[in-house]
Structure 1
Amino acid sequence: MSDFAGKGNRRPQLDININLIEVDNKNPRLVPYLENPNESSQFDLISVLYENFDTEVVAMSLVENGYFDEEPIIVVPNKIPPTFSFSNYPNPDDLAGALKNLIDNDEISFTVVEGNRRTSAIKLITNIKLRKDLGIDKFYPKTENESIIFDISNIPCIIYEKRKDVSSYLGVRHIAGLLKWEAFAQAAYTATVIEQELENGLSIAESIKQVQKVVGDRSDKLRKQYITYKLYLEAKENLEFNVRPIINKFSLLTVAYNSASIREYLGVEAYSKVDLDSELITSDKSENFKNILTWIYGNIDTNEQPVLTDSRNITNTLSHVVKKQEAIEYLIKYKDLNGAYERTNGEREYLSKKLTDASRAMQESLKFAYKYKNDTELLDKVSEIEHLIEALKSNLS
């Protein structure tokens, strides 16, 4: 019988004390906010969750209602005796009993892989030192109700043996399901699972197909997510560019990559043709890549603002600008997207458009100029225009 994501017995479920559960430093939603995930402390992780994921909302419900046992978190062991094996207990109730003995003997601890917000909120509610160290003790939700504290300190957990065993569930839940992660977290998860399949000896194409089967998405969405995530990683590793804004608006990078002209400017192939075993952006195109990112996201390090005010301008405007060297140079120099766009049809068309605009402006002025006869200030402006017209005639003759 072939393997499938939900194969096997139900997993054991136990109530586990919150002090035995660690927040996950490999969670796709947290990793982007950590300088070095593998070296991040539990304090670092809880701080990130507080700052970026509204754990206060979860905490308010917990101190008011306690913990709903209908919503167990999912954990994997991070410390377990080397002689202990899940496979020795085919019956999930027997396995649960054996794990309970390890818990009672302080021989096991866990990492939460689904339920990080709830876990961090409980830790903050039940640990005054942690709240004070974060500087939030005065306003973070808390309670003195001992029954509530006991209830939320011992929470129902479904226990998986290995992290990779949970990957399929997370994909179905957060990519194809109702509780979808934001774009960056989806891409990070996709990349993680694909890398796991690569380690198992599959090719890139085979790995993507395997993830598609698990998630139940037969479109090219996962391939696009993986490619866009690789672009993010290359920006992070190869460019002097602060990638934090990309995380928050990750979908814009996908929009940019969807543009054929922007791909040509970056020197990369379309999704169906790109070689995923090589770097997407070659060194000779790294400056172009940095330009695209700066125009879309701004540059924190140089205090440059993005030139785009609307994501639709990536397709409607920027994709045309990158086709013309004159327009590109203008955008680099003046940070003026509209001005650069006006140069996409060449200097003659640009000059013609400006003269047409000036003609229309003077025609409009004629409608009410008679009201201001002998106005010296306005006459001076007209004289200035006359001189400019003579100069234009002279240059065009």
Structure 2
Amino acid sequence: MKQRKIEYADLSHIALDPKNPRLGRSAHQKNLAQDEIFDLMRDWSLEELATSFLESGFWAHEAVLCVEEEIHGDDRLVVIEGNRRIAALKRLKKAYDGDETSRKWLEIIEGIQEPEKLFSEVPFIRLEERGEVDAFLGFRHVTGIKEWAPPEKAQFIAKLIDQNGLSYRDVMRQIGSKTPTVQRNYIAYSILMQMEETEGLDVGKVEDKFSVLFLSLARTDVRNFLGLREKFEVPPEQVRPPISEEFVPRLKEYSRWLFGDEENAPVVTDSRQVDKFSKVLASDEGLDYLRTVRRPSLEKAFVIAGGDQEELYELMTTAAYNVEEALSSIHHYADDEKLIRIVQRLSSNVAQINKIFEI
């Protein structure tokens, strides 16, 4: 971004951004009016900002970034970065104007005279166009300390690729994220877009758990189940649609099991279960169970898929090594009563194992 001077404008001349990623895709599609955007932002923890403004003012180093755009027929200074600050100011102004009914906000201004120039001289930096700060927004909200929610990050990455024509590597350099992470975000967002156009899928449920979709795509078995392997080997312009027509029925199954629908609860209820889910998808027996049982259980599907076998190997191997290590010194404590009880329990368990394996 070029070095630009700080300017000042009356708060009434500054508009909240209807394209703010934090508002979400559904809000973007509605072309919301300013009052509607303001209402969506009421729960964005604005009080702490307002209190700071009353105590210390709006310092020039906090200048918001704006671009001149037409909104609903009027040319406005639209905030590209700093929407929370402007929303807090606007709510403070409403409180001083007598248009605020919230007791909390009325308490914030109680006994404090309206600060001179707080609303009439708001510091801002004028941009020529939105793309001028893409790299800054990426570092700040995708990989930085003020992170957006997972679907908002993915949407921003998709914008850089689809609208700006950047490659995965270009985006990596611009926002400071790893290339595989950028790629997975883009493919996950592309799947979300395809789901939106696929009959019978509840995209709202998917968007609410977008991080689970993103995490699942790191598993090879999930990629294979959805026929996605090739999409991770081609440039972004060849990704869409990510799911080929022959795999759309599987996409519907994947969505139902992972996110649920109006009639079915999700089989996967926690992001930590993604590994087990991926193993089930790689098993014909596990898939048959998910497809035929009315209310399938992930744990049972995992066992049917043989997923607990690796866990069993690890448990038994660890137990064997521990016993071997104990043998080096156990003879020194042959009269220890507590140790005798432990050995008796171990012997009983070993006898059961021997019976199972007919040893």
Same fold (TM over 0.5): yes
Match of 1:195 in 2: 162
Q: Which residue of 1 aligns with 2:14?
A: 21
The correspondence for 2:300, drawn from 323, 327, 339, is 339
Q: Structure 2: how far apart are the matches of 1:119 and 1:245? A: 31
Contact 1:122 1:153 in 2 (8 A): no
The residue that corresponds to 2:23 in the other structure is: 30
Instruction: Give 1:219's aligned residue.
Output: 179
Equivalent residue, structure 1, for 2:4: 11
| 1:59 aligns to 2:50 (yes or no) | yes
Whether 1:328 and 2:287 are equivalent positions in the alignment is yes
Instruction: Specify the alignment match of 1:250 in structure 2.
Output: 210
Q: In the aligned structure 1, how far is the partner of 2:75 from the partner of 2:223?
A: 50
| Partner of residue 148, structure 2 | 181
1:109-158 Cα shifts (integer Å, max 9, x gaps): 210000111111222221259997xx963444652634337414532101
Q: Is 1:310–2:275 an aligned residue pair?
A: no
**Residues 1:298 and 2:298 aligned together:** no
Q: Measure the CA separation in 2 of the matches of 1:336 and 1:185.
A: 31
Higher relative contact order (CA closer than 8 Å, sequence separation 6+): 1
Of 64, 82, 85, the match for 1:115: 82
Matched, 1:42 2:34: yes
Q: What's the CA shift for 1:261?
A: 1.3
**Distance in 2 between the 1:131 and 1:251 partners?**
42
Contact 1:32 1:247 in 2 (8 A): no
Give the whole-Å Cα distance in 2 for the aligned partners of 1:168 and 1:66.
29
Partner of 1:285: 247
Distance 1:341 1:108 in 2: 58
Contact 1:263 1:269 in 2 (8 A): yes
Corresponding position: 1:137 with 2:130: no
How many positions carry a matched residue from both structures? 302
State how far apart, in whole Å, the 1-side matches of 2:129 and 2:25 are: 23
Given the superposition, is the C-alpha separation of residues 268 and 110 from structure 1 closer, same or farther in structure 2, using an over 3 Å criterion?
Answer: same
**1:228 is the counterpart of 2:188:** yes
Deviation per CA, 1:374-394, whole angstroms, max 9, x where unpaired?
A: xxxxxxxxxxxxxxxxxxxxx
Q: TM-score, normalised by structure 2?
A: 0.73
For the 8 Å contact 1:79–1:108, the answer to whether it is kept is yes
Cα-Cα RMSD: 3.2
- Report the 3-state secondary structure (helix = DSSP H, G, I; strand = E; otherwise coil) of the residue aligned with 1:147: coil
Question: Compared with structure 1, are the counterparts of its residues 335 and 17 closer, same or farther at alpha carbon in structure 2 (3 Å cutoff)?
Answer: farther
Q: Percent identity?
A: 25
Q: For the Cα contact (< 8 Å) 1:239–1:286, is it kept in 2?
A: no
Displacement after TM superposition at 1:219 (Å): 3.2
**Which position in structure 1 is the counterpart of 2:332?**
none
Gaps of 5+ in 2: 310-347, 349-359
Task: Call closer, same or farther: CA 1:197–1:140 in 2, change over 3 Å.
Answer: same
Q: CA 1:109 to 1:232, structure 2 compared with 1: closer, same or farther past 3 Å?
A: same
Is 1:165 the equivalent of 2:127?
A: no
- Taking a change above 3 Å as real, the CA distance of residues 338 and 131 of structure 1, as seen in their structure-2 partners, is farther
SS of 1:40 mapped into structure 2: coil
